[in-house]
A and B are shown apart, each in its own frame.
Chain A
Amino acid sequence: MSKRKMQPADLPAGECVSQLQEMLRQRLCHQQLPDRPEGVEAQHKHLLELLKRTSVHGESNSVLIVGPRGAGKTMLLKCVLRDLQEEKEAEKNLLQVHLNGLLQTDDRIALKEITRQLHLENVVGDKVFGSFAENLTFLLEALKKGDRSSSRPVLFVLDEFDLFAAHKNQTLLYNLLDVSQSAQAPIAVVGMTCRLDVLELLEKRVKSRFSHRQIHLLSNPTFAEYLGRVRTRLGLPDHFPDSRFAADWNASVETLCEDKSVEEVLRRHFHSSKDFRSLHMLLMLCLSRVSVAKPWIRPADLLEASRLSFADGEANMLHGLSILELCLIIAMKHLNDVYEGEPFNLQMVHNEFKKFLQRKSNSMYNFDQPVILKAFEHLQQLEMIRPVDSSSAKTQREFQLMRLMLDHSQIMEALQKYPQCPTEVKQWAMSAFG
Chain B
Amino acid sequence: MNIQDKISLKVKNMPPSGIRKFFDVASEMGDAISLGVGEPDFDTPWHVREEAIYSLEQGKTVYSANAGLLTLREEICKYMKRRFDLTYNPKTETLVTVGGSEGIDVSLRTLLEAGEEVLIPEPSFVAYMPCTIFAGGVPVPIATKAENQFKLTADEIENAITDKSKLLILPYPNNPTGAIMEREELEKIAKVIIKNDLIVLSDEIYAELTYGINHVSIANIEGMYERTIILSGFSKAYAMTGWRLGYALGPPAVIQAMTKMHQYVLMCAPTTSQYGAISAMKNGDSDVREMRKAYDGRRKLMLDGFKKMGLSCFEPKGAFYVFPSIKETGMTSEEFCEALLKEEKVAVVPGNAFGSSGEGYIRCSYAYSIAELKEALVRIERFVSKILASKS
- B is a partner of A: no
Residues of B within 8 A of A (CB): none
Residues of A within 8 A of B (CB): none
